[in-house]
Structure 1
């Protein structure tokens, strides 16, 4: 984990290295000052030499000024290094996530990834800053002060050595108990963020069903879980403070008692005892700093492990050497294809699928919920890899293509249409970054979106709110279709992408496809038979298998599933007309 995280320091290594150097110099200055203070007492005041007092005092002022300078510089470089480290961590995680396949993303929830890139990174940033500054300062100050106390009198060093060993044992016990609880806390944070995200995205549904109280109770339950876990962890971590306090006061009492006896016996001077108390304070403050850092490191360890999980996650899909970058045509072949999701490899979603789709052909896909229609479509642009068998596009196995080139030639409009905050033009240019205004307008005409866009006061410069909240479901679908068309793909897949569009507009979209992009292979997944009945062929899926394939007329005669769906939809349409 530590090696994975430290790789992300990058360009901020200089500041990360300078910080400990400045800290060491600061500590050296601070360790020398008590020696000078003892000299002032023993030689200046006791000897009544004003010159000695002034000379040593001036040297102390210089040492204090240098300690201040090094302290300020260490703070500046530590802040720069930790902030840059956090930025690199976020950037590395974000870039890593972009390489993930759908199966990789399935391992991490959306809310979990957001928590890792925000809360977890912040925890690691704070721990890193403390590590390169306090974790360097405290041990060095501790060792330096211990050496000075040993030089003054070995008995004093023995006291601190015993205290440090006892503290190390107690802190190790606290760590072993607290870390598992803190990992649970961050898991619950993921759950809490997921509930907030779900609630905010579905706010209209929540209010329409008057479920505000129910959602509030769900949030309170999750918050209570986090509070309870934090209390459990904090109870353990809280033991740190009384143990430190007990150690501090025990040291002060023992040194006071031993020092007084030594002064009376003549084996210790007043100046040495005074410097000893300064070193005592330095040692105990160092122990306190180590203790505080220790608590922070315990909390950040769980965060570091979660970040490392993302950074070390290997993408399931990758390009083969010398991957093909040109797609010859829009033909699609499935040969004995079987597919199971990586999360449940023992259960095949698609079994023994064989189909050949010719370039420019329009294929309709019909089937009940969970019949593997969307999974079938996801295999064509290689969003997932098949478990067995082979999928070919343009006569070439999809695994042999460069994935970016393949997906540039296979435009897919998913069930869940997503628009991003920005203007309509900016959203559409996701399909083609350098698309001209003429290209955009032409694609929108094909998708039957041009008319409603021009009705907006700002036209194509209309701002789309996050998630497309300010356009209707049908408008959102048409914009997503236009965005896909801008790619000028060899294969166009519409995964139930006209469900929110009225039948007249749906027919106009299909007519435009036939007339304007006849060479593009079109795969239309739909629940409405009217959306696919004029397709060249229709595939009927049932429980992951191709139940039948043929034209509309052929399926009415030969497919019980297709005929049943057709009759039920025709009957519903007739009833609706009768009611009107």
Structure 2
């Protein structure tokens, strides 16, 4: 957890204020029993009313001072902990944004969400407790012991028995609780994953009447977490009765032996009352310490999980930002590229070599699992190649900064993704400063203008989370508009026309051809009709190139392509 404390540097002044005012608050708490003893022994016993009033006013002033110190401590500690958690969440999110898809696959989306929210909250809560109790508890304990000894050294022998017993209890509970805290966070990950899958896939769940199955899955994960939480809470609940039992026995011992000393004339009543209050302060400080020992292990587990994220080095390292020659514009070259997913038995792509040029349409087609999407995902460096190189305008993509590389690309993923907000905001996601005219033009080219204008609010119509209030074809067209508005050097359409009818598909391809005359266009498609007019068609089969050429050339030279065409088109259409 100490590794995370480096993010507390901006709050050093507030931390110093907390420590100073905690010290003053502790001194006020320790001074009050002595004043009370003086009132009883010198004022009440001797009937000195002026002295009682004088010391009473002083006690009131000390109490008010302690209250002010407590308020300042609460304010500053809250400010520090909330600022720390805000900074930490920002750091984690920024770091995760640089992850390649391999890191997301390794840690898991549900776990990343838990670590960014619940784990950081655990650390935040412990930080508040540490700021308020880490100094207070030792000071109250040590100061209380010193003041108790000053009141009566012999009676202080009671603590020699009480404190070691309490220390052993705390040690045993912490040792047993640590594995449970670790398991609890893992099971919270599992619950989040089940919940996320159930909510995002609600349409599939209902379509297949699997609602009861998903309820059982959730109940199982929920019960698993609850059982672990119950064990933790039962363990922690045992702490308070033991503490109170020890406190009560200590009080009985103090009153018993104190009364004997008073009877023998070795101690005064006020001193015994003060001694009982100091015993209370000592045991309360030990209770505060025990609470820290309970919370710190859980926060330590959370801190370890957060550090795992922050210390994960992305496989994809940023290259140097280099200005590209003005005369080159989006030439993509694959040179003997091979790639395999981590843990896979065989490569997803092998020995891929081709060139895609501006003003031309390069289509990629092949069977399911042939590596089409993998191929285009390598261009914006969602993954890095294992062998060979991918060059854009003569430069290896690994030597370019990711920001510069992706600024050249307009990417439309296989699964259309929309964000909460208006239609205009979703299109402007591709170019933040796009004018209304540019947004409208991109929508027109993407064949989205018709359905947008039919909506009540037009471009200001609100898109629900995940785009659930528009159809699949509408989501694809808005995704295409988002790529078009930025006018990149390279367009990548990863099976982005699959939800479109043939008529819209044809209109969109015709409009794209006019719009992208100066750009390189790569289209991944399942339908032959989408790629039949492409300048260059790359046929993939089990991760390897089975043929390259236009439609006519491939019909003559590529068996795989002929099989794909014959499976989709009639003999009349082929002719």
TM range (shorter): over 0.9
- 2:503 maps to which residue? 504
- 2:334 maps to which residue? 334
Q: How does 1:280-429 map to 2 (within 5 A)?
A: 280-321=279-320, 323-324=322-323, 328-341=328-341, 343-344=342-343, 347-429=346-428
More moved, 29-38 vs 345-354: 345-354
Secondary structure, aligned partner of 2:491:
strand
Task: Please state if 1:235 is matched with 2:234.
Answer: yes
Structure 1 unaligned spans of 5+: 575-580
Deviations 1:435-474 (A, max 9, x none): 1122122222221112222222222222211111111100
| Offset at residue 156 of structure 1 (A) | 4.1
Q: 1:43 to 1:498 in 2, by over 3 A?
A: same
Report if the CA contact (8 A) 2:320-2:400 is conserved: no
C-alpha distance in structure 2 between counterparts of 1:27 and 1:287, whole Å? 14
Report if the CA contact (8 A) 1:330-1:360 is conserved: no
Q: 1:209 to 1:141 in 2, by over 3 A?
A: same
More moved, 502-511 vs 540-549: 540-549
Secondary structure, aligned partner of 1:154:
coil
Q: 1:142 to 1:76 in 2, by over 3 A?
A: same
Report if the CA contact (8 A) 2:155-2:258 is conserved: no
Secondary structure, aligned partner of 1:224:
helix
More moved, 542-551 vs 319-328: 319-328
Deviations 1:468-509 (A, max 9, x none): 111110011011111101111111111011100011111112
C-alpha distance in structure 2 between counterparts of 1:417 and 1:183, whole Å? 37
Report if the CA contact (8 A) 1:548-1:559 is conserved: yes
| Offset at residue 99 of structure 1 (A) | 2.3
- 2:432 maps to which residue? 433
More moved, 189-198 vs 502-511: 189-198
Task: Please state if 1:523 is matched with 2:544.
Answer: no
C-alpha distance in structure 2 between counterparts of 1:83 and 1:71, whole Å? 18
Secondary structure, aligned partner of 1:69:
helix
C-alpha distance in structure 1 between counterparts of 2:226 and 2:395, whole Å? 55
| Offset at residue 572 of structure 1 (A) | 11
Q: 1:31 to 1:406 in 2, by over 3 A?
A: same
Task: Please state if 1:473 is matched with 2:472.
Answer: yes
- 2:534 maps to which residue? 535
- 1:214 maps to which residue? 213
Report if the CA contact (8 A) 1:10-1:85 is conserved: no
More moved, 522-531 vs 563-572: 563-572
Secondary structure, aligned partner of 1:194:
helix
Structure 2 unaligned spans of 5+: none
| Offset at residue 69 of structure 1 (A) | 1.4
Taking structure 1 as the reference length, the TM-score comes to 0.93
| Offset at residue 367 of structure 1 (A) | 2.0
Report if the CA contact (8 A) 2:492-2:523 is conserved: yes
Q: 1:403 to 1:556 in 2, by over 3 A?
A: same
| Offset at residue 324 of structure 1 (A) | 4.2
More moved, 468-477 vs 369-378: 369-378
Deviations 1:405-449 (A, max 9, x none): 111111111011111111111111111111112212222222111
More moved, 488-497 vs 150-159: 150-159
C-alpha distance in structure 2 between counterparts of 1:356 and 1:43, whole Å? 99
Report if the CA contact (8 A) 2:320-2:401 is conserved: no
Report if the CA contact (8 A) 2:324-2:393 is conserved: no
| Offset at residue 380 of structure 1 (A) | 0.9
Report if the CA contact (8 A) 2:367-2:540 is conserved: yes
- 1:560 maps to which residue? 559
Secondary structure, aligned partner of 1:419:
coil
Number of aligned residue pairs: give it: 572
More moved, 207-216 vs 326-335: 326-335
C-alpha distance in structure 2 between counterparts of 1:91 and 1:80, whole Å? 16
Secondary structure, aligned partner of 1:493:
strand
Q: 1:405 to 1:261 in 2, by over 3 A?
A: same
Secondary structure, aligned partner of 1:548:
strand
| Offset at residue 161 of structure 1 (A) | 4.4
Q: 1:442 to 1:322 in 2, by over 3 A?
A: closer
Q: 1:63 to 1:573 in 2, by over 3 A?
A: farther
Report if the CA contact (8 A) 1:337-1:386 is conserved: yes
- 1:577 maps to which residue? none
More moved, 50-59 vs 121-130: 50-59
C-alpha distance in structure 1 between counterparts of 2:542 and 2:2, whole Å? 46
C-alpha distance in structure 2 between counterparts of 1:476 and 1:436, whole Å? 21
Secondary structure, aligned partner of 1:188:
helix
C-alpha distance in structure 2 between counterparts of 1:203 and 1:181, whole Å? 32
Q: How does 1:50-199 map to 2 (within 5 A)?
A: 50-199=49-198
Report if the CA contact (8 A) 1:325-1:402 is conserved: no
Secondary structure, aligned partner of 2:388:
strand
Secondary structure, aligned partner of 1:380:
coil
Report if the CA contact (8 A) 1:364-1:524 is conserved: yes
| Offset at residue 297 of structure 1 (A) | 2.1
